[in-house]
Amino acid sequence: MSVTINDVARHAGVSIKTVSRVINKESSVRAATKEKVEAAVKELHYQPNAAARNLAGSKSFSIAFIYDNPNAYYVIDMQNGILQECRKQNFELVIHPCNSKADDILDEISNMIRHSRISGVVLTPPFSEMPEVIGRLNELGVNFVRIFSGHDRPDGISPCIMVNDFDAAFAITEHLIELGHKNIGFISGGKEHKSTFERIEGYKLALTERGINVDDSLIIDGEYSFDSGVNGASELLNHPQKPTAIFSCNDEIAAGALFASRLANVAIPEELSIVGFENSPFSRQTWPKITTADQPNQTIAQNATTLLINEIRKQKSPDICRQFTPTLLVRDSTSKAKL
């Protein structure tokens, strides 16, 4: 027979209501009482049923992860990080992929929140950067946390996690410059993502500060996809000022760029250095392995979920805005430029 909340209350010598308050992490419970209840929960191996909690009262214990991202590795990392914190905090997770460009996207989000009795939402790009989505969530009175690209503290609309793509892109470009590269191509991601612009601007500033002119013809428009890397690298390899290095806006693009270079019989890294961004499996499953920026997506997602649940429970966090800066991870796809 499964252990119930009644069993925990009897074992701890407290009321059912007190057990519920401890499980829901309410701050009004005395420390000694909290310890007794937590000990009883552990000893009895009690597992709170979040679905039953949602049905039993007006308070919801479900949060939603809304996303539209073609990078499966990014999505999986985010899901795992959010789920890890949900399990720790006894919340249920609703995963809702949707098309950010759909005409009825606001109605779709609104209906999902109402039907699933959602108490909070984790927003990732591009939704976290769409004012109309943020406005609709405010109208619905739903708590939310935003994960987005940025290096300056934003508005105080909600808790947020900023990913400092700008400084990370600067560091990657500086690494290439220190290896003697001056003609550095850039293959961008989709323009609907702020991360694309942050990475381009970091790349440009590094060039400028080292006295290297920014050649806009070496910046190729693209999407966050393998095919964009193939097409972008092919274009750069036929450029009159053929680059000695390529900065790819993410690892999937970088893997495509490496593939195109191999087809063109260009040796990596002897003739061409290639870098990516994010440290996804794409960067580790190629040969040579790709120099990249290590972006801890699971940790980012877990932090975002902690901030969201604190907001739902009206527990104030000392830092409702946190920043992560991806760090340079040098591998075998970069080497000194040929003089």
| Neighbour tally for 85: CB within 10 Å | 21
CA of 63: how far to CAs of 156, 167, 309, 311, 332, in Å?
Answer: 21, 31, 9, 12, 41
Collapse the DSSP code of 96 into the 3-class scheme (helix H, G, I; strand E, B; otherwise coil) and give the result. Answer: strand
CA of 21: how far to CAs of 3, 56, 61, 260, in Å?
Answer: 18, 14, 13, 58
CB 229 within 8 A of CB 186: no
Q: Tell whether 148 and 41 lie within a shared domain.
A: no
Give the separation between CA 267 and CA 168, rounded to whole angstroms: 26
CATH number at residue 44: 1.10.260.40
Domain of 33, in residue numbers: 5-48
Closest CA to 151 of 205, 188, 100, 189: 205
- Reported as a pLDDT band with limits 50, 70 and 90, residue 17 is low
Tens-digit pLDDT profile for residues 143-190:
999 999 998 777 778 899 999 999 999 999 999 999 999 999 999 999
Into how many domains does the chain fold?
A: 3
Tens-digit pLDDT profile for residues 282-292:
999 999 999 99
- For the ranges 5-19, 126-140, 265-279, the lowest mean pLDDT is seen at 5-19
pLDDT at residue number 27? 66
The radius of gyration of the chain from alpha carbons, rounded to an integer in Å, stands at 24
In a domain, 33, yes or no: yes
Q: Is the pLDDT of residue 54 over 50?
A: no
Q: Length of the chain, please? A: 339
Q: Tell whether 9 and 117 lie within a shared domain.
A: no
Q: How confident is the prediction for the chain on average, in pLDDT?
A: 90
Tens-digit pLDDT profile for residues 190-218:
998 899 999 999 999 999 999 999 999 99
- For the ranges 33-47, 88-102, 190-204, 317-331, the lowest mean pLDDT is seen at 33-47
Give the separation between CA 45 and CA 135, rounded to whole angstroms: 42
Quick one: average pLDDT of 38-56? Answer: 67
Q: Tell whether 290 and 169 lie within a shared domain.
A: yes
Q: Tell whether 153 and 171 lie within a shared domain.
A: no
CA of 273: how far to CAs of 216, 226, 257, in Å?
Answer: 19, 17, 10
pTM score of the predicted model: 0.80
